[in-house]
Structure 1
């Protein structure tokens, strides 16, 4: 974690920002819960446990700054809630998500399965693609035994449009 904090400190310095104690506390919470796709409110509640003096507005400003500097991805799974996750420093593209419409779990796919599709879109539309994101909505392995597959159409109504 300390190496990651040091790299972020350098990224901030490059853009003439400092890693303030409030920013560091926010980043540490995100690092500790890296697999959880936390909302700003989730981050705030966890930061407040460790640093009660930090306000919600400070957490929001920190998350927005980290998104603008491409340290974090700001993502929305169709439910109107922005969530944050660290960008993979070594990945060419953002990873993809499996979103369970039953329990709300979000699992990640780290394989880039869209190389050919991306090339086809780029060629056909003469469009230089910088990144892509893909989300699959369905029933996760944890819930699949709890739902009658014959009644899966009822589950589809929970999929955000």
Structure 2
């Protein structure tokens, strides 16, 4: 889904929320950092450069709300911190992630090689699958080169 501010305001109105300046500023962080997987702390550090009066608790609440409204996608990469990114997918399947266990870098890949497996599982189990997530953990090229160098 492409981010459209008028559609966003409509989502807020439908759920009886307001798109406050703070929420709009936090949303802008994701629009300016497309493709990045930001934690609440990352977002807080970015918005504090623009406005000192936004606290970390406000960022956490806003991220949860934006996730609940399906504007952001919330992810867990196993490092104890939730990460968020814009939910711009028009298809039910999301991209997948390669996670470097050395530096924490997250690399996205779009290839959905699980379609056949998903169909077999759905058929054999009589289960309707609506989504899946794949995470591969390892070492990115830069960390591998540092270790080998």
TM-score by length of 2: 0.88
Match of 1:145 in 2: 145
SS at match of 1:142: helix
TM-score by length of 1: 0.82
Match of 2:34 in 1: 34
**Contact 1:99–1:106 (8 Å) recurs in 2:** yes
Q: CA deviation at 1:23?
A: 0.5
Greater RCO (CA < 8 Å, at least 6 residues apart): 2
**Contact 2:92–2:130 (8 Å) recurs in 1:** no
Root-mean-square deviation (Å)? 1.8
Q: CA deviation at 1:102?
A: 2.2
Gaps of at least 5 residues in structure 1 are 149-161
Match of 1:64 in 2: 64
SS at match of 1:75: strand
Could you list the structure 1 runs, at least 4 aligned residues long, displaced by more than 6 angstroms after superposition.
none
Gaps of at least 5 residues in structure 2 are none
Q: CA deviation at 1:3?
A: 5.5
Match of 2:114 in 1: 114
Note if 1:128 corresponds to 2:133. Answer: no
